[in-house]
Chains A and B, each alone.
Chain A
Amino acid sequence: MQTRPVIRYRAVHKAFDLPVLEGIDLDIFPGEMFGLFGASGAGKSVLLKTTIGLIVPDRGDVEVDGRSVFFGDRRDVRKIRDKVGYVFQHAALFDSLNVFENVETGLPLRRLRAMDGRRVARLVWEALERVLLDPREVMTKLPAELSGGMKKRVGIARAIVGGPDILLWDEPTTGLDPVNTAGVQRQIRRLSRELDVTSVIVTHDIEGGLEMCNRVAMLEGGRLRFLGSPTAFRASGDPIVRAFVDRTAAEAAVDLVATT
Chain B
Amino acid sequence: MPGSSETPSRAERWLAGVARAGRTVLQHSGEIAILLRDIVAALVGLRVSLRSILRQMYVMGVQSLPIVILTAVLAGIVTSQQGGYQFTGAIPLYVLGSIVAESVVLEMGPVLTAIVLVGRVGARITAELGTMKVSEQIDAFYSVGRDPVSILAAPRVVAGIIVVPILVAVANLVGILAGMVSAQLTVGLGPNSFLYGARLYWQSWDLFYSLTKALVFGFTIPVVAIHMGLRTEGGAEGVGKTTTQAVMFMTLAVLIMDALFPPLLLD
Taking Cβ atoms with an 8 Å cutoff, the residues of A that contact B are 49, 52-54, 78, 81-82, 84, 86, 88-90, 92-95, 105-106, 108-109, 158, 162
Q: Which residues of B contact A52 (CB under 8 A)?
A: 142-143
Partner among A81, A89, A95 whose Cβ is within 8 Å of the Cβ of B143: A81
Considering residues B135, B136, B141, which has the most beta carbons from chain A within 10 angstroms of its beta carbon?
B136
Whether B137 pairs with A54 at a CB distance below 8 angstroms is no
Whether B135 pairs with A92 at a CB distance below 8 angstroms is yes
Interface of B, helix, strand, loop or mixed by DSSP: helix
8 Å CB interface, B210-225 against A: none
Complex: A94 Cα to B145 Cα, angstroms: 14
Give the 3 A-B residue pairs with the shortest CB-CB distance, closest first: A92-B136, A92-B140, A86-B143
Complex: A245 Cα to B132 Cα, angstroms: 34
- Chain B residue, CB-CB nearest to A85: B143
Complex: A94 Cα to B132 Cα, angstroms: 8
Q: What's the least CB distance linking A66 to chain B, in Å?
A: 19
Q: Mark B223-261, 1 if CB is under 8 A from A, else 0.
A: 000000000000000000000000000000000000000
Whether B144 pairs with A106 at a CB distance below 8 angstroms is yes
Q: Which residues of A contact B135 (CB under 8 A)?
A: 90, 92
Whether A105 pairs with B139 at a CB distance below 8 angstroms is no
Considering residues A54, A108, A158, which has the most beta carbons from chain B within 10 angstroms of its beta carbon?
A54
- The reply to whether the CB of B146 lies closer than 8 angstroms to some CB of chain A is yes
Q: What's the least CB distance linking A105 to chain B, in Å?
A: 5
Whether B139 pairs with A54 at a CB distance below 8 angstroms is yes
- Some 7 contacts from A to B, beta carbons below 8 A apart, are A54-B139, A54-B143, A78-B145, A90-B136, A92-B135, A92-B137, A162-B144
Whether B146 pairs with A109 at a CB distance below 8 angstroms is yes
8 Å CB interface, B123-171 against A: 131-132, 135-137, 139-146
Whether A88 pairs with B140 at a CB distance below 8 angstroms is yes
Whether B142 pairs with A81 at a CB distance below 8 angstroms is yes
- Chain A residue, CB-CB nearest to B139: A54
Complex: A52 Cα to B146 Cα, angstroms: 13
Whether A108 pairs with B140 at a CB distance below 8 angstroms is no
Whether A92 pairs with B139 at a CB distance below 8 angstroms is yes
Partner among A82, A89, A95 whose Cβ is within 8 Å of the Cβ of B145: A82
**Size class of the contact patch on chain B:** 10 to 19
Q: Which residues of B contact A89 (CB under 8 A)?
A: 136
Partner among B131, B132, B136, B146 whose Cβ is within 8 Å of the Cβ of A105: B146
Total number of residue pairs linking A and B with CB closer than 8 Å:
46
Q: What's the least CB distance linking A242 to chain B, in Å?
A: 33
Partner among B131, B132, B136, B144 whose Cβ is within 8 Å of the Cβ of A158: B144
Complex: A55 Cα to B224 Cα, angstroms: 23
Complex: A89 Cα to B143 Cα, angstroms: 13
Whether A54 pairs with B145 at a CB distance below 8 angstroms is no
Whether A81 pairs with B145 at a CB distance below 8 angstroms is yes
Q: What's the least CB distance linking B103 to chain A, in Å?
A: 41
Q: Which residues of B contact A106 (CB under 8 A)?
A: 144
Q: Which residues of A contact B141 (CB under 8 A)?
A: 94, 105
Whether A94 pairs with B137 at a CB distance below 8 angstroms is yes
Q: What's the least CB distance linking B105 to chain A, in Å?
A: 38
Q: What's the least CB distance linking B23 to chain A, in Å?
A: 14
Complex: A108 Cα to B146 Cα, angstroms: 9
Complex: A109 Cα to B151 Cα, angstroms: 13
Considering residues B132, B137, B141, B146, which has the most beta carbons from chain A within 10 angstroms of its beta carbon?
B137
Whether B136 pairs with A88 at a CB distance below 8 angstroms is yes
Complex: A178 Cα to B181 Cα, angstroms: 70
Complex: A49 Cα to B142 Cα, angstroms: 11
Complex: A54 Cα to B143 Cα, angstroms: 8
Q: Which residues of A contact B144 (CB under 8 A)?
A: 81, 105-106, 158, 162
Partner among B137, B140, B143, B145 whose Cβ is within 8 Å of the Cβ of A109: B145
Asked if A95 meets B137 with Cβ closer than 8 Å, knowing A109-B145, A109-B146, the reply is yes
Complex: A112 Cα to B192 Cα, angstroms: 63
Q: Which residues of B contact A49 (CB under 8 A)?
A: 139
Q: What's the least CB distance linking A106 to chain B, in Å?
A: 5
Q: Which residues of B contact A158 (CB under 8 A)?
A: 140, 144
Complex: A185 Cα to B46 Cα, angstroms: 42
Complex: A94 Cα to B143 Cα, angstroms: 13
Q: What's the least CB distance linking B45 to chain A, in Å?
A: 13
